[in-house]
Structure 1
């Protein structure tokens, strides 16, 4: 499959798809090398029926930033002032979020989170980049320092990644896209 075909298929799936359809595309894509990830990436989830669908976006998720193998910032958020900051994932109660995901999608909770962002920001990297085997392919992945999460990446093209957040306790991965930030 060409990068153009993969990109077109991804655009169709981004409107919402079954996890199986998105994972079929994921499995068809080539591996990514760690050094290809350096930079800032904008993210968006793909609605597949996962409990996390839309949750990060509601809270102002911007994406991820990678400075190198030991310098990964897994959770970038936009502030109400328009700045992009790195949030420490250790302050994100992922297990609790999963159990109440339908309730925390309210605008009130999102507004509260945005007020708390300055308290949970960090300048330190909170994840690392490693090559891991996932679904039979060894590719770059981001491994969180404080949470049982890793995000394997596959290359759609030089500026687009299809990603699968693998979280202990989640039946299926949360699927999302990263696009290289032009800024």
Structure 2
């Protein structure tokens, strides 16, 4: 699968209401370009792919909105909405916040969010200028998974510059 095909298939699966194959998501991941931590600064609205992972649906139950990367040393992995609809960083659920690093995952260095209080890493690749694909990895998870797959879309009100502005041809 080439990058153009991967982007198109990603968009189809993102809109799918129902289960998505982790194997197909892995194929998409392999075709996408890595991204640097500095390129993803800003506010992001999140969503998940339902693959049958034990975390499927749990973030929705917590009121998860997305992630905020204020700087490489100030990442908020669990931006949630309270009962009044206001956004806040759910430090309790995340056992702290996080930072952004470049970490090798599946043989490629890419932007990765390292949680402060949990042995969890969220790896990112660029789908297009306003969309990231994420794979959550954690201590104790075998190299073949199961992984938690999610996506982030740049929030319209985000004050930060977009990631590389390559055309999604």
Q: Give the TM-score normalised by the residue count of structure 1.
A: 0.76
Uncovered stretches (5+) of structure 2, i.e. residues with no partner: 158-169
Cα offset for 1:72?
Answer: 0.4
Aligned position for 2:100: 129
Structure 1, residues 27-64: CA drift from partner, whole Å, max 9, x if none? 11001011111100000110011011111012210000
Q: Distance in 1 between matches of 2:7 and 2:48?
A: 15
Q: How many residues align?
A: 150
Shift of 1:78: 1.0
Q: Please name the residue that 1:87 is paired with.
A: 90
Are residue 60 (structure 1) and residue 34 (structure 2) matched?
no
Structure 2 matches for 1:15-26, cutoff 5 A?
Answer: 15=16, 16-26=19-29
- Secondary structure, counterpart of 2:52 in structure 1: coil
Q: Considering fraction of residues, name the structure with more helix.
A: 1
Higher strand content, 1 or 2: 2
Counterparts of 2:72 and 2:84 in 1: how far apart (Å)? 30
Deviation at 1:67, TM superposition (A): 1.1
**Partners of 1:168 and 1:157 in 2: how far apart?**
29
Q: TM-score, normalised by structure 2?
A: 0.82
1:104-148, Cα deviation, whole Å (9 max, x unpaired): xxxxxxxxxxxxxxxx9xxxx711100000011100100001100
2:46 to 43, 46, 51: 43
Q: 1:172 matched to which residue of 2?
A: 146
What are structure 1's unaligned runs of at least 5 residues? Answer: 94-119
SS in 1 for 2:34: coil
Selected match of 1:152 from 115, 123, 136: 123
4+ residue stretches of structure 1 with deviation over 3 A? none
CA drift at 1:2? 4.8
Residue 161 of structure 1: aligned partner: 132
The whole-number CA distance in structure 1 between the counterparts of 2:140 and 2:36 is 28
- Tell me, what secondary structure is at the counterpart of 2:33? coil
Query: 1: CA distance between counterparts of 2:93 and 2:62?
Result: 12
In 2, Cα distance between the equivalents of 1:167 and 1:46? 18
